[in-house]
Structure 1
């Protein structure tokens, strides 16, 4: 680099740091300013020789992470200082002891939580999932760790363009699967939205570009429409003496994509892309009444969709989010989402739990945070599976949508959606859960697998004689209920096994047989069990009775095991020969040499994944399964984000290299207005005009609208697109789309 370039970089670095200091001016004194300068100088020294993939000096990254922590999340000087040096211990010779000596124990503790894990984990466990578990362990001590970690991830996503494509896909999939839901759960809605949009940009780039282009084309029209609509609202609110501001916005790219998929519609059919937010300036005592008064004014002048009212003021979300949401019919027949909240509620919504520190008198928010962190501790302490199982459990229990349930005395409890009375009883107390005999919902007896809904009042009926049952595990969704049921069943199983051991020894002594270790192992093999504990349990439960024990002893005396071993070996050889024959048959089929894998473009055996049925021309990737070799998936497969996020080391880049003709099944979803002879037109075009084989067709109409599934056999993606294009031209057909299976 030239001296001029070095000087320009130094100037840019100092400019970025000075901007960071400006964002902190209302939250720091002279001592805090000195702390930030020391952290900045240490980071600049530690990263002085390092550059990012984009070619920029690495120091840009910690400065930008610190700016996000300060400006977009709103944390204090210690958190900002920690963000500046968050990579120092991992990427340089500085140690945690150095950090504690140079700063203090508190900052060293935060850095310890932020330092990435080094080491090798089991190949079946995602390293990122293990990192996520470690991060949550630290979260249970200090939430600042996870807030800084989210800022780190946000800046990495903002600068992802310089990474190779396979890294982009991996990082974006992790973000969509773990970090965006976590940001949502903590209440960082702006960060959650940006993480989702940026993830979509790399996981589905074509879809992302299409929605961005459509939004850009309709931007002026949308802006004009929202401005006109807001004028009415401003007029009516001013007449009633409100102090307020209104923010206008369109839905995020990711939320539009999500709606298109869930409703099976195109961009133009999403009816509530417009939204405004009314932020009322109100005292703490009048917050609720002012919000409802503003709601009344809006709905007096614009017809609301009653099914779209969401009241998170009377019952705030577990992450502290408070707001009223409704959708009203605006001018010119457009639906508009209206959010109503106070300035305090808006800051909590923007900055999540970080904002609670500003409003210290709001103990409810902090107690909800403490409650959520306690639930994290429960999941961490009771989880016995691998990291990927843990992450799935975490997502299910701590990031799921919520329902609001009332106790018989009217106390409010928050549970994950799809919870049952058993989940409710365990959330009250473990002893109540273990003794649950039945339940009443809204005064009516219901089965224990009944799925609760928001607003239900639940009464639990208990009995001291009741014990948990195995099928209870199929009824519950919360980790607390599941882990307590498993623990109780294990404990009961151990007690029965202990009794069974005594019974077995007594029975063997009665027939003058010494219960040796070898004999017990022979019995385990004979009864096809896993271990001696299972043997004792089955004896205790009288599943293995006297007659079976006598038969064992008779076969033992007749050299039964010699015969059994021969039979097993013979069967194994037979199975092996069958497997070889099948392998040979598979190898001679047309599936070979259509795909090459990895950077070296090697040929491997593979199978087509049934969840997405990719065909030649599709963007694909290979996934190394535990038992079935390589499975080939479409990049838009419903399982794609999950696999890329949790098993990145088992993902293989893949591409089609052969033009050899082969037939592939693909399912099309066709919708439109039901007309006479429609099915005939469809089959005529597919079979006669295009000469495509129809494997199955199922079209049903209701009140003039039809929807159907057609399975066609095509040669590749271009062939399929030709079929879709012709079908879309049929009069009355509104949409034809390729369908992928739901996620496994």
Structure 2
């Protein structure tokens, strides 16, 4: 990889000469700053920023300040080049991007606390300017390609952080191809035994599937041509290895149950031809009724659009087809980078802020992370609101609402508006009244029944899933407690009580409980635990508090502790 080849690639994409000059100057500065430095592979260090910049151009993310920042991204941290010098030579935009990358630092898998803080930084950077994260993802992609040269003891750590931090972010940004590549690069280092097993068992299956699909393509091409459908491409899509392994875990490790081991992807000119091609496929081969998914009408939350259908193909072999337009294909592969390329207005005036409709979840993450203080609470919320599978349900007017898997009508209500959530009295799903704790399914039509004077129920906290809804319900009861406090008589004599806590036994539980007691200014008189081997031991605490209100607050706080199943209170 050379600067000449990078510049030529950019010229082929009609990049302006002024932008090419900026990128070339950035390279010369980076080359001088990194001169004499070597990578673990033994190659000159400058190859790494060149590869990072080249990867962005291959995503069609052709933004001169971003490419320049990619070339310079390690100079401040690794060579001591002052940020002020970069701003003077390349302008505030390039300096802003490099400062964002430098603040992210080297993400390391060093305990939960470190991981949480790095994730917080990633979300803040995403909400502020998505280009920082795109450079970081491109940087990680090249680092994974050269992971074999890193010390053995570091390889697994780097591979795991790639799977647990970088690939979920790539997926949520709609960058499906990058996600798959990062996973496959990390797989053999993170889970070497599982990777060897898969490669041993899958090679022959892949070859057989490819030979089979080669027989299908000519038949399909003839029928599409008869219907005047312009197929710009009919290509074989092989499933990424790590994604395949994850799917096998859900299917008893039985390869015969994986119908999309290798599928056919049909790329056509427009949306009408997508549905026309679907008709041709179903005319040729009988579809499986429950295996037709229209992601054009109902896009995935990350912007993915396609029609998926699974049919009994030649010799009744079950085969998956994906049908999409060229633009849908580029967005499916490159996500936010492709959205940038297809933006009618081009680059936004103030940084690369995310499309609120398609990527509003990033701003939501930024808002709720400021409210979630504890490490365990942050990670638990993250699993639900970010890493967990998503569903999309519909309002009665047909608007698509993106929620985490297992979300309930109450989560839906709060997503629409906090007032709708607070006044939620019931719900209809697909025209039928259902309990408020009913898990919603993909494509459900949800209608919320409201009452003006209705207030949230504390019991909702037992089943609602989203952090936003939980925080709103908790705030309601906190306000209620404060209101009660204003009406109570001050300077009452101390109130004693016995608190009974039923919880799962875990390391750090008593420490968490003690911290809450201390934060509430509660005095502990006695503390006893169940001495049996019960996995859910009882904890009995005799306390002295300022008043009953103080005790009520304590009970609510204790119910939020991880592992606590029940909290009882008896005044003494």
Secondary structure of the structure 2 residue equivalent to 1:233? helix
Q: Does 1:329 align with 2:312?
A: yes
Given the alignment, which residue of 453, 456, 475 partners 1:468?
456
1:368 to 332, 337, 357: 357
In 1, are the aligned partners of 2:384 and 2:465 still within 8 Å (CA)? yes
| 1:522–1:481 Cα change, 3 Å | closer
Determine helix, strand or coil for the equivalent of 1:317. coil
Match of 1:98 among 82, 85, 104: 85
The residue that corresponds to 2:475 in the other structure is 487
Alignment deviations for residues 183-223 of structure 1 (CA, whole Å, 9 cap, x no partner): 11111111011111122111222332333344444454333
User: Number of aligned pairs?
Assistant: 514
Structure-1 residue corresponding to 2:275: 292
Q: How does 1:74-113 map to 2 (within 5 A)?
A: 74-113=61-100
Question: Equivalent of 2:484, from 475, 496, 503?
Answer: 496
Match of 1:536 in 2: 550
In structure 2, the CA distance between the partners of 1:411 and 1:249, relative to structure 1 (3 Å rule), is closer
Whether 1:358 aligns to 2:347 is no
Runs of 5+ in structure 1 lacking a partner? 1-14, 508-519, 549-744
Q: Which of 165, 169, 194 is the aligned partner of 1:207?
A: 194
Given that 2:300 and 2:392 are in contact with CA atoms closer than 8 Å, whether structure 1 keeps it comes out as: no
* In 1: Cα distance, 2:395 partner to 2:211 partner: 48
Contact 2:60–2:341, Cα closer than 8 Å, also in 1: no
Higher-Rg structure is 1
**Partners of 2:182 and 2:110 in 1: how far apart?**
28
Show the 5 A alignment for 1:157-168: 157-168=144-155
CA positional deviation for 1:235: 1.0
Between 241-250 and 134-143, report the one with greater CA deviation. Answer: 241-250
* In structure 1, distance between residues paired with 2:176 and 2:447: 35
> Which stretch shows the higher mean deviation, 220-229 or 208-217?
208-217
How many angstroms does 1:258 deviate by? 1.6
Quote how far apart the aligned CAs of 1:271 are. Answer: 4.0
How far apart, in 2, do the equivalents of 1:58 and 1:540 lie? 56
1:448 corresponds to: 436
Matched, 1:379 2:365: no
Q: For 1:530 and 1:45, locate their aligned partners in 2 and report how far apart those are by CA, in whole Å.
A: 68
1:338-353 paired onto structure 2 within 5 Å: 338-353=321-336
User: Is 1:157–1:198's contact at 8 Å kept on the other side of the alignment?
Assistant: yes
The CA deviation string for residues 136-157 of structure 1, in whole angstroms up to 9 with x for no partner, is 1011111111111111111111
Q: Is the 8 A contact 1:405 1:413 kept in 2?
A: yes
8 Å contact kept, 1:74–1:351: no
Matches within 5 A, 1:541-552: 548=572
RMSD: 3.1
The residue aligned with 1:262 is: 250
Structure 2 unaligned residues grouped into runs of 5+: 347-353, 496-519, 527-540, 556-567
CA 1:267–1:539: 2 relative to 1, 3 Å = closer
Q: CA 1:203–1:524 in structure 2 vs 1: closer, same or farther (change >3 Å)? A: closer
Instruction: Give the TM-score taking structure 1 as reference length.
Output: 0.64
The alpha-carbon deviation at position 312 of structure 1 amounts to 0.3
Work out the CA distance in 1 between the residues paired with 2:48 and 2:300.
33
TM-score, length of structure 2 as denominator length: 0.82
CA contact (8 A) 1:43 1:84 kept: yes
Alpha-carbon separation, structure 1, partners of 2:69 and 2:16? 17
* Inter-partner Cα distance in structure 2 for 1:414 and 1:154: 29
Mapping 1:11-90, distance limit 5 Å = 15-25=1-11, 26-72=13-59, 74-90=61-77
Corresponding residue of 1:429: 417
How far, CA to CA, are the matches of 2:544 and 2:221 in structure 1? 72
